[in-house]
């Protein structure tokens, strides 16, 4: 085998090894998501690409206002990305354009527009489950409208960390 062929084989081998490592990482540790709808507008525009991590979605890692990807409760073939609003055991009340957790009004500084009263109600979040809402509350199919309004922890796939595309929107999605 001549020197050129050896160099080509080494380059192909390195490329294949790198590709295999990336595939394994994105199957186990990371996730890229294309956001197809405007339900998170105000924070994530439609057709944005979001980078998420899979390793920090245990119960002790989840906090109110985290943006998470999860299996849709009413259709296991669909993945949603929404903001975590209700924690296990809480009573969430959506009333008069405001959201309350156990009687305490929640921050809504990240929502796109003032929330209308569609979806008003009281929701008792079961243990081991979570309640989600989109940031574009007036145009979001979320826990308020699903037949099964609560997402079990086992269906949560990843925590959104940042927007990668479009380049004009690159930035962190961590709530402070």
**pLDDT for 65 beyond 90:** yes
Q: How is domain 3-172 classified at the CATH fold level?
A: Umud Fragment, subunit A (2.10.109)
Least confident of 56-60, 146-150, 168-172: 168-172
Please give the model's pTM, rounded to 2 decimal places.
0.88
Ordered by start, the domain boundaries in the chain are 3-172
So what's the pLDDT on residue 4? 86
So what's the pLDDT on residue 176? 60
As to burial, measured by CB atoms within 10 angstroms (0-12 exposed, 13-18 middle, 19+ buried), residue 106 is: middle
149-161 residues labelled b (16+ CB within 10 A) or e (exposed): bbbeeebbbbbbb
Question: Taking all residues of the chain, what is their mean pLDDT, rounded to a whole number?
Answer: 92
**pLDDT bucket at 118, cuts 50 / 70 / 90:** confident
CA distances from 1 to 6, 8, 9, 122, 143 (A): 7, 11, 10, 73, 63
CA distances from 139 to 10, 37, 59, 78, 111 (A): 52, 9, 28, 18, 11
- Residue % of the chain over a pLDDT of 90: 70
CA distances from 95 to 106, 126, 141 (A): 12, 20, 17
């Amino acid at each position: 085998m001549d020197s050129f062929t050896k160099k080509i084989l080494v380059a192909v081998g390195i490329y294949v090894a790198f590709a295999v490592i990336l595939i394994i990482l994105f199957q186990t540790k990371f996730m890229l998501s294309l956001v197809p709808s405007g339900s998170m507008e105000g924070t994530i525009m439609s057709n944005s690409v979001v980078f998420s991590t899979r390793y920090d979605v245990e119960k002790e890692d989840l906090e109110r206002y985290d943006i998470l990807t999860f299996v849709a409760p009413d259709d296991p073939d669909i993945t949603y990305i929404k903001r975590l609003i209700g924690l296990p055991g809480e009573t969430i009340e959506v009333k008069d354009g405001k959201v309350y957790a156990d009687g305490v009004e929640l921050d809504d500084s990240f929502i796109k527009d003032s929330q209308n009263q569609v979806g008003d109600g009281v929701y008792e979040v079961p243990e081991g489950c979570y309640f989600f809402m989109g940031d574009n509350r007036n145009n979001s199919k979320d826990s308020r409208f699903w037949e099964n309004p609560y997402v079990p922890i086992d269906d949560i796939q990843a925590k959104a960390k940042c927007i990668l595309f479009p380049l004009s929107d690159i930035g962190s999605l961590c709530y402070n």
